[in-house]
Amino acid sequence: MVGSKLCAPLTLSLGVAALVAMLAPAPYASAADPNAFNRLMTPPSKRNPPPTEDGIHDPKSTGTQGLQTPREAFDPLPKAQSGNYIDWVKSFDEQKIQPRFDRNDPKAKPVIMDLTIVREVKGSMPDVVFPHKQHTEWLDCSNCHPALFVPQKGANQMSMASIMLGESCGVCHGKVAFPVADCRRCHNQAKGKPAPTKTSAVSKGKK
């Protein structure tokens, strides 16, 4: 008797809740469901949040409200699966962005060095092909040499552990350049195959 009295409003409220759930857009797997899929992954709807919602900007500051949102800036750029979810190299190659080489001169161009370095890796992963081309499109030689990498074959010992701790490649990759979770963007040369010495030989005749 008491049970049925309690049950009626409960059933009603459950019904209303179900109706609301049906009408509202399907929520992304919330933390309330402990067995949700991709529990730790950033859902697409939560990527590139606007400054007012990203948790580090002070939303009360008028300056914050005036800032451009990453989504707006990234809209015309080719997408990727990690980092900013932008393929910066492709954006550069397709001239969707034209980052200046010289801060005052929009026409100045960098001297590009097209030389790939193959690093044979010890583990079962494919070998690493390091393209100087894509790096010299952004960076100066002195950003890496000789402090991070001695420009001499075999002189640079490194491991994924040290990279993840922010050394060698990890100075940029994992912080501002694409993260190390994108294994195959570096480990992309099948073992035992002769490696190309120029990026242009690999990049399907681009440029």
Partner 1 sequence: MRQHQKSYGVKTVAACLLLLVGTTAAAEYADIILNKLSEKEGMRPVIFSHWFHRIRFQCRVCHNELRFEMRVGSTDVNMDDISQGKFCGACHNGEIAWTTENCDLCHTGAPGLSTGVRGGHQTLGPGIW
Copy the structure tokens of residue 109: 């161009």
Binding mask 110-129 for partner 1 (x = CB under 8 A): x-------------------
**Quick one: 168 or 195, whose CB is closer to partner 1?**
168
Among 155, 126, 151, which residue's Cα sits nearest to residue 141?
Answer: 151
Between the two ends of the chain, the Cα-to-Cα distance in Å is 81
Shortest approach of partner 1 to residue 148 CB, angstroms? Answer: 8
The sign of the torsion formed by the CA atoms of 13, 17, 18, 22 equals: positive
Which strands make up the sheet holding 127-131, listed edge to edge? 116-119, 127-131, 187-189
Q: By CB under 8 A, tell whether 53 contacts partner 1.
A: yes
Q: By CB under 8 A, tell whether 87 contacts partner 1.
A: no
Cα(52)–Cα(58) distance, integer angstroms:
7
Shortest approach of partner 1 to residue 119 CB, angstroms? Answer: 21
**Quick one: 94 or 102, whose CB is closer to partner 1?**
102
Stretch that binds partner 1, among 16-24, 57-65, 121-129, 186-194 (CB under 8 A): 57-65
Cα(123)–Cα(120) distance, integer angstroms:
9
Site for partner 1, rule CB under 8 A: 6, 30-32, 39-42, 46, 48-49, 51, 53-58, 61-64, 66-68, 70, 73-74, 82-86, 88, 97, 99-104, 110, 137-140, 142-143, 164, 171-172, 174-176, 179, 181
